[in-house]
Copies of this chain bind each other. A is one copy, B any other.
């Protein structure tokens, strides 16, 4: 049975420190929320999770396909509902990458395989949000 555990410890104000795989992540609200912006808002960590998950998939597949690339970045734009509790209901994953023209179809293949098959975080997001994606060739 595979279980992942993380611990988050309260410091003061609105600041928590999460320990994830031995790495510390600071969580805090902004001043309007009573905090000091020492760290990220917690909900937005969901979006970093999504971008990282699909990003690793794409790097893995491009390496296997021996595609040379540079300047890979992934921007996630997530729309929040208006009513409490606010949840993400539509998310767009925007991939930017520099590859040779003849490798663009391989990038599309890698992105589609990640979004449709490999990325567990995308799959979880699809339970509560519409997930779109775009690819921008630099």
Contact = CB atoms under 8 A, between A and B. Distances in A.
Interface of A: 1-10, 14, 16, 18, 20-23, 25-27, 29-30, 33-34, 37, 39-53, 55-56, 59-60, 72-80, 82, 84-88, 117-124, 127-128
Contacts of A29: 56
A45 B45 CA distance: 6
Contacts of A75: 5-8
20 contacts: A1-B79, A2-B82, A3-B80, A4-B88, A5-B76, A8-B73, A9-B72, A16-B51, A16-B74, A20-B44, A23-B39, A33-B56, A42-B56, A43-B120, A45-B45, A45-B52, A46-B124, A85-B118, A86-B120, A123-B128
Nearest to A119: B85
A120 B88 CA distance: 9
Given A3-B79, A5-B78, A79-B1, A52 B18 contact: yes
B120 A87 contact: yes
B44 A4 contact: yes
B6 A51 contact: yes
A14 B58 CA distance: 10
B20 A47 contact: yes
